[in-house]
Amino acid sequence: MASTSDIRNGLCIKFNNDIYKIVEFLHVKPGKGPAFVRTKMKSVTSGKTLDNTFSAGHKIDVVRVETHTFQYLYNEGNDYHFMNNETFEQITLEKNILDAPGLLKEGTNVMVQINAETESPLSVDMPASIVLEVTYTEPGVKGNTATNATKPATVETGAQVNVPLFINEGDKIKIDTASASYIERIKE
C-alpha cells in the first residue's frame, strides 16, 4: 500500500473497482485545515476521466506495471495493432485506451504499460511530440505572420490541427501529442 505522497503522473491505481491512471495531480496545503491531493484520473478500461480529491496520508492501492516499447503498425476501425520491439509479439488495443489516436503514424514507437499481474495492457504513452506532414490547408497569405491567427490543417494521419497562417501543404510540422497542438515548422 502506498500513500498520497507517492502520487505522480502516469501512476496506475485501483480505485472504485477499476484501474485508473493519474493524468494530473496537485498537492494542496490550505492555510486552514488538512492538506489534500487533487487528482484527475483516466479509467484504463473505459477511457473516462474522473476528478477526485484524496486527503493527505490516504492509502492508495498501486497496480504494479511494466513498461515496454511497442511499434504502431496499423488500425482497423477502433482496433489499433502494435508490435513489441523485443519479442515481436503483436497486441491489439482499443481506441479508448489511446490518448491521441489521430496523431499515430505507422512505425511510431510508443511506451505501453502492462499490468504485471494479469499481463493486460493498461495505457499507451505517446512520444512528447511527433513530426507530421500537412496534407491539406488553405493557402497562406503573405504578410499575415505578425498576428497570432490560426487556421485548420489536416495532417497525414487525418487529424485536424490548428496552425499559423504561414503553414502550407507539404510542410512538416511538430505537434505536441498531449494537447494535439502545433509547436513549430520543421525545415529540412
pLDDT at 55 > cutoff 80: yes
β-sheet bridge partners, residue 104:
none
Report the CATH architecture of 129-185: Beta Barrel (2.40)
Indicate whether this model's pTM tops 0.85: no
**CB atoms < 10 A from the CB of 144, how many?**
12
Q: Does domain 11-62 have CATH number 1.10.3720.10?
A: no
Q: Report residue 97: phi and psi, to 5°.
A: -75, -25
Domain with CATH 2.40.50.140 in the chain: 65-125, 129-185
Identify the CATH assignment for 65-125 out of 2.60.40.10, 2.40.50.140, 3.50.70.10, 2.70.170.10. 2.40.50.140
Who's near 82: CB < 8 A, 6+ residues apart? 70, 71, 72, 73, 90, 91, 92, 93, 110, 112, 124
Where in the chain are all domains bearing CATH 2.30.30.30?
11-62
Residue pair 21/123 in contact (Cβ under 8 Å)? The answer is yes
pLDDT in tens, 140-164: 666 655 667 888 999 998 889 999 8
**Number of neighbouring beta carbons within 10 Å of residue 93:** 22
Residue predicted with more confidence, 171 or 44: 171
pLDDT of residue 143: 63
